[in-house]
Amino acid sequence: MTENTDKLEQERNESWRAELRNSMPMKDRVAIERVKMNEIPPEERIKSQTCEVNTGLTEEQAVLEAKRCMDCPKPTCIEGCPVNINIPKFIKNIERKNFAAAAATLKDYSSLPAVCGRVCPQEKQCEAKCSYLKMKKEPVAIGYLERFAADYERTSGNTQIPKINAPNGIKVGAIGSGPSSLSFAGDMIKLGYDVTVFEALHAIGGVLKYGIPEFRLPNAVVDAELDNLARMGVKFEKNFVVGRTASFEDLKEAGYKAFYVGSGAGLPNFMNIPGENLNGVMSSNEYLTRVNLMCANCDDTDTPVMHGKVVAVVGGGNTAMDSVRTAKRLGAERAIIIYRRSREEMPARLEEVKHAIEEGIEFLNLHNPIEYLPNAEGRVAKVRLQKMELGEPDASGRRKPVPIEGAIEEIDIDIAVVAIGVSPNPLIPACLKGIKVTRKGTIEVCEETMQSALPEIFAGGDIVRGGATVILAMGDGRKAASAMHDYLSKK
């Protein structure tokens, strides 16, 4: 999907861009300090599960931050973005205060910019490749600016609906309603297809709804994007488990010509250590689903969630961070991360770790649970921890944690949340005869087209990658849409 450099060059040479570049000396641009995101103070925000921590940039802040971007002749930032957003183009539109054009630029590449601006691990992607880093300065706040432009459009009340081709009457189905299927659906509806998204749960959005908490990604942001898709003509079928409610054969009989499988990696991993099935030990998926999908923390809902004074969360990724910060918001006196590597190696977004520290989350790094111990009623009361040290680098390049012999300690806990990763949901692969799956249970596809061994089945997102990011899942959906269009056009 890399755009050819000629087009980038051409756009960069448009007169308004050239004028903008010349309107301010480079040394003045680089002298500007990187903008600080406006935030709700920690002591206030931990009182609510739904209060968004980041409140966004003001117009002045955004325009000033946009001025920092040097509109580089070789914009390496674009290479860092998995969907190759034309970053300088959207940022320069912010600088000249044409926010609608900035939003439109984003929409050319990403169907969920308001989401990605909030949840992308920018420090590993676009911002990691910004030229500022070579000057030992902080990168341009690409994520904040992306969020600004997308929010501006959403709150302006006149969201642009992209141009849609005349309906071609060809039915295609997307399985799952996470970011991957949603971006697939957005592209296919634009091409004129008759698109239906099937979702097993009673809410649309996948992890964006049941996993990522509202203090990081408000439901209203996701719902606005879903609204757009519905206005464009995408149909949604909730409470529909493909392979169960109806089989692929049933759907083919009903006229569906091809499918995109975006069923995610919903199966929670456990460590298989003694005591893991005690009451009070649960997966992060269970904990977060109860709170985020079922609003178990609200007084007027029926779903319960356990409350505890001391909540231990095992893991170091975004899911662990979301769980531990949720525990804090549900009133835990101590909310503790237990992670077997050091803090530098935690895969979570940097910003989440920073926010967690501000909120008083405790970090027990280089500790690994080996057993949960019950109280008299059979509920978890203690966790036994093996202390670790860092050894040689492993296959991932990170230094491998190794147990320190005999260094074992126990801490008192009321709840343990296991957030050590997920595996692909096996349902779909199991009901597609002839599909190829890897040892890990992910669906094998052609990297270029996302087409599986069954020509009418395409797949992407976590079911192919086994747990990745929102933007990668979206990129897959777009690639699959364009390849499926080719495939169906030739048929």
Which residues sit opposite 175 in a β-bridge? 198, 261
Alpha-carbon distances, residue 207 vs 203, 212, 217, 481 (angstroms)? 10, 6, 11, 21
Q: Which residue has the tokens 């409610």?
A: 245
Among positions 76-135, residues that touch ligand FAD (CB under 6 A) are: 119-120
Residue type, 301: T
Least gap, CB of 456 to ligand FAD (angstroms): 16
Least gap, CB of 189 to another protein (angstroms): 23
Long-range contacts formed by 60-66: CB under 8 A, 24+ apart: 61/35, 62/35, 62/94, 62/144, 62/145, 62/148, 62/149, 63/94, 63/95, 63/97, 64/32, 64/35, 65/32, 65/34, 65/35, 65/140, 65/141, 65/144, 65/145, 66/91, 66/92, 66/94, 66/95, 66/145
Q: In whole angstroms, give the CA distance from residue 135 to residue 131.
A: 7
**Residue among 264 and 475 whose Cβ is closer to another protein:** 264
Residue 87 in the binding site for ligand SF4 (CB under 6 A): yes
Residue type, 67: K
With CA atoms as reference, report the closest residue to 279 among 152, 415, 105: 415
Give the single-character DSSP code of 233: T
Residue 273 in the binding site for another protein (CB under 8 A): no
**Residue among 85 and 174 whose Cβ is closer to another protein:** 174
Residue 158 in the binding site for another protein (CB under 8 A): no
Residue 289 in the binding site for another protein (CB under 8 A): yes
**Residue among 64 and 241 whose Cβ is closer to another protein:** 241
Binding partner of residue 60 among ligand FAD, ligand SF4, another protein, none, CB cut-off 5 to 8 Å per kind: none
Q: From the CA atom positions of the chain, what is the Rg in Å? A: 23
Among positions 450-489, residues that touch ligand SF4 (CB under 6 A) are: 471
**Residue among 423 and 449 whose Cβ is closer to another protein:** 423
Q: In whole angstroms, give the CA distance from residue 375 to residue 259.
A: 50
Three-state SS at 210: helix
Structure tokens at 356: 């967690």
Among positions 259-278, residues that touch ligand FAD (CB under 6 A) are: 262-264, 266
Residue 440 in the binding site for another protein (CB under 8 A): no
**Site for ligand FAD (CB under 6 A): which residue of 103, 428, 437, 480?**
428
Residue 110 in the binding site for ligand SF4 (CB under 6 A): yes
Binding partner of residue 88 among ligand FAD, ligand SF4, another protein, none, CB cut-off 5 to 8 Å per kind: ligand SF4
Contacts with ligand FAD, 353-382, as mask; x by CB under 6 A = ------------------------------
Alpha-carbon distances, residue 420 vs 217, 231, 338, 417 (angstroms)? 22, 38, 11, 9
Structure tokens at 466: 């086994």
Q: Is 328 exposed, middle or buried (0-12, 13-18, 19+ CB in 10 A)?
A: buried
Among positions 367-426, residues that touch another protein (CB under 8 A) are: 378, 425-426
For residues 441 and 426, is the Cβ–Cβ distance under 8 A? yes
With CA atoms as reference, report the closest residue to 388 among 409, 373, 372: 409
**Site for another protein (CB under 8 A): which residue of 51, 427, 431, 468?**
427
Least gap, CB of 33 to another protein (angstroms): 44
Among the listed ranges 43-51, 139-147, 465-473, 483-491, the one in contact with ligand FAD (CB under 6 A) is 465-473
Count of residues that interact with ligand FAD, criterion CB under 6 A: 39
With CA atoms as reference, report the closest residue to 458 among 482, 484, 438, 437: 484
Q: In whole angstroms, give the CA distance from residue 305 to residue 152.
A: 36
Residue 271 in the binding site for another protein (CB under 8 A): no
**Site for ligand FAD (CB under 6 A): which residue of 102, 149, 174, 212?**
212
Binding partner of residue 187 among ligand SF4, ligand FAD, another protein, none, CB cut-off 5 to 8 Å per kind: none
Q: What burial letters (b/e) apply to 376-408, b meaning 16+ CB within 10 Å?
A: eeebbbbbbbbbbebeeeeeeeebebeeeeeee
Among the listed ranges 31-39, 200-208, 405-413, 433-441, the one in contact with ligand FAD (CB under 6 A) is 200-208
Residue type, 162: P
Residue 71 in the binding site for ligand SF4 (CB under 6 A): yes
Among positions 178-237, residues that touch another protein (CB under 8 A) are: 200-202, 210
Binding partner of residue 353 among another protein, ligand FAD, ligand SF4, none, CB cut-off 5 to 8 Å per kind: none
Residues lying near ligand SF4 in the complex (CB under 6 A): 69-72, 75-77, 81, 83, 85, 87-88, 110, 116-117, 120, 122, 125-126, 130-132, 140, 142-143, 146, 471
Residues lying near another protein in the complex (CB under 8 A): 200-202, 210, 238-241, 244-247, 250, 266-268, 270, 272, 276-280, 282-283, 285-286, 289-290, 294-295, 298-306, 378, 425-427
Residues lying near ligand FAD in the complex (CB under 6 A): 119-120, 175-181, 198-201, 206-207, 211-212, 241-243, 262-264, 266, 288, 318-319, 322, 349, 425, 427-428, 461-462, 468-471, 473
